[in-house]
Chain A
């Protein structure tokens, strides 16, 4: 695992220039007073894309065969990717959070509110759900086809969301029932439920990825 992490960190390091650029943009965004939650979401997302880029670099120019003759297990490769993605996304999320809080402090604005904290958390969770979809897709379809599949899936999700919205609009009864059900839930329970859902999705994603890599032939 250490070898894989070193390998991926070095890949990222070689993209140093892009990272500095992104960081600069992020700082400008913060200073110019953009919506804080949006900035955090954005920077977390960018951190994740750096993590995902290691998949592209691994695969590029027939890189996979050489990786898999190294003394690693296929499962280990998958685990490391999830770990690395989690590490980078948390780093981006936490880092941007710290900067925003710091800037707020300097400006004498309100540093912390429960709403803000919740929004931050939601950003991280959305990011993780995104990763949970993206990693298996990238592994199975590679970088080229993976991007296309990405669009297709996003499109599908969008359509489903539209569909639900449509259903809601035209079926007030259903909407009321759902609203009642959500309100009846304690916030704590809602959190736990959401957390479990994301965990389950994560596990499912991991199992898919593991199967994909274990079956892959070169």
Chain B
């Protein structure tokens, strides 16, 4: 499924959401940004939970408002703070899902629950954060959905569980014809998983890049004041003044490493890039 979010706009108190993203088939798209920047709203708009003031969301060329129920079965979701009633057990949830989704793979789902040690007869409200996260992720992947929309699916998980879930997400892409939109605060997770990253801040997309470009071509220059004066500014994106230095974010780190071998350069993580894009000054 190819999803196109075209300039959806929504007015909030302090800013306006104006967002366009593309989720092509076969890609894993990461969505990062501070809380309240518009990630959840965009995802909810895609899911039909809220309607934008303007703009369109198209799936395979068709507006999502026109979707049939059969087509809605192609979407798998993990929401940050919403789920089934806590009074259900996993068994109950199985029975419910069977009636909603024609392709629900019950045996496979039960097997996965067993593998992740999720008790079938315990009420969900007794689950730990980690167990809940695993349950909802497994559910979203249990009926051959072509598009997964995952809002902070690994929040609150310990590092081992996180990696297990990320592996499951990678496995899910195997059959092909699927795409994933995932938002997370844990940039490290996204670096090894996503093909593209969108950074959203105060409702606007500040950055959209292939992940490997972010990791390979972006970097930080740590220059002294004097070095900064003489620096070619063309490829600098942001700068942050420190006590003793000027730190600059660039998307052409190779250029600077080759032409200014004296200046200290560092690779950046996506967290660093977010910091610079939001808190740094434009150059």
Cβ contacts A1-22/B at 8 Å (1 or 0 each): 0110011001100100000000
Count of interface residues, chain B, beta-carbon cutoff 8 Å: 29
> Residues of B contacting A63 with CB < 8 Å?
82-85
Cβ contacts A61-74/B at 8 Å (1 or 0 each): 11111101111110
Q: Is B51 engaged at the interface, CB distance under 8 Å to the other chain? A: yes
Q: Is A133 engaged at the interface, CB distance under 8 Å to the other chain? A: no
Q: How far is the CA of A217 from the CA of B52 in the complex (A)?
A: 10
> Residues of A contacting B70 with CB < 8 Å?
71
> Residues of A contacting B86 with CB < 8 Å?
61
> Residues of B contacting A6 with CB < 8 Å?
95-96, 99
Given known A-B contacts A7-B96, A69-B79, A218-B44, A60 and B85 have beta carbons under 8 A apart: yes
Q: How far is the CA of A66 from the CA of B84 in the complex (A)?
A: 7
Count of interface residues, chain A, beta-carbon cutoff 8 Å: 24
Given known A-B contacts A69-B48, A71-B100, A64 and B82 have beta carbons under 8 A apart: yes
Describe B's contact surface by its main secondary structure.
loop
Q: Are B69 and A73 in contact (CB under 8 A)?
A: yes
Q: Are B99 and A3 in contact (CB under 8 A)?
A: yes
Given known A-B contacts A10-B88, A72-B69, A66 and B83 have beta carbons under 8 A apart: yes
Q: Are B51 and A70 in contact (CB under 8 A)?
A: no
Q: Are A62 and B99 in contact (CB under 8 A)?
A: no
Residue pairs across A and B with Cβ atoms less than 8 A apart, 16 shown, are A10-B92, A10-B95, A14-B87, A14-B123, A63-B82, A63-B83, A63-B84, A66-B79, A66-B84, A68-B49, A69-B47, A69-B49, A69-B75, A71-B70, A71-B101, A218-B49
Binding site for A on B (CB under 8 A): 44, 47-51, 69-70, 72-73, 75, 77, 79, 81-88, 92, 95-97, 99-101, 123
